[in-house]
Structure 1
Amino acid sequence: MCAEDGPPDGADVTEYKKASHQAPLKGRSEAARFYMYAIIKTGGKQYRVQVGDKLKVESLAVEAGAQVTLTEVLAVCGDEGLKVGTPVLAGATVTATVLSHGRGEKVRIFKFRRRKHSMKSGGHRQNYTELKIEAISA
């Protein structure tokens, strides 16, 4: 079922409950249509996204404020039910806006060899791109 996480903020809970217990997905109310989601793949990782979500993905070579079309859509759940690709859905896209680029938290690395007076310290900060999901089309 697509509506797993509960009603969105401001949505009528009784309308959501009615919609989530109806059998075919086509006759659902507007409260249940907020739950269209997609599973996308970018940067070697998979993300479950809905319209309006903000997420940090591996760094993309795109300017801040630009629109990005993600074509590696693995699955889409919406009015027509769940569609799963093999491995990707043909013609399905997710459109997102690049909000910013940044660097993640520092991960400390410490290598130590006992009895050798040998220590090595280092760190790593992963670059990321923050996206806001604008549209999902199947």
Structure 2
Amino acid sequence: MRNQENQIEPAITKVVETANWILRDGAKILSVRSHGRDRFYLPGGKIDPGETARDAIQREINEELGVSLIPGTIRTLGTFAGQGHNQPDGAIVRMTCFTAYYTGELAPSREIAELRWLTPRERDLMAPMGQKITAALFDI
């Protein structure tokens, strides 16, 4: 397959399904950085076998940030796909993104080293898919 620049693109070898939370505070978006990683990501993670995306987002957010999403407020925002950060060529990440209200106090836990509210101007600190989604959310 060729892209817009007429270059041959690698074949898709793997699809990683994730569930991610979009939490905005005005012109900022909640982002997290895992221990040992150099980029920020949208909170969430891989969908386990037999798990729905909705179940995964609730589990992942509780594990990563110590808060509970309020089930009746969880809404699917959309699905975005592209080359995964730190993934081999041809590995695609398909991110099902949700919005939701939550209870509790946001705090990094388990594998999360840092959480940060990033502005669209700071999206270069994010992994490529986070940059793509942030650009779409803020229409830039």
TM superposition score normalised by structure 1: 0.26
The structure with the greater share of residues assigned to strand is 1
Indicate the structure with greater helix content: 2
TM-score normalized with structure 2 length: 0.26
Task: State which structure, 1 or 2, has the greater radius of gyration over its C-alpha atoms.
Answer: 1
Q: More relative contact order in 1 or in 2 (CA 8 Å, sep 6+)?
A: 2
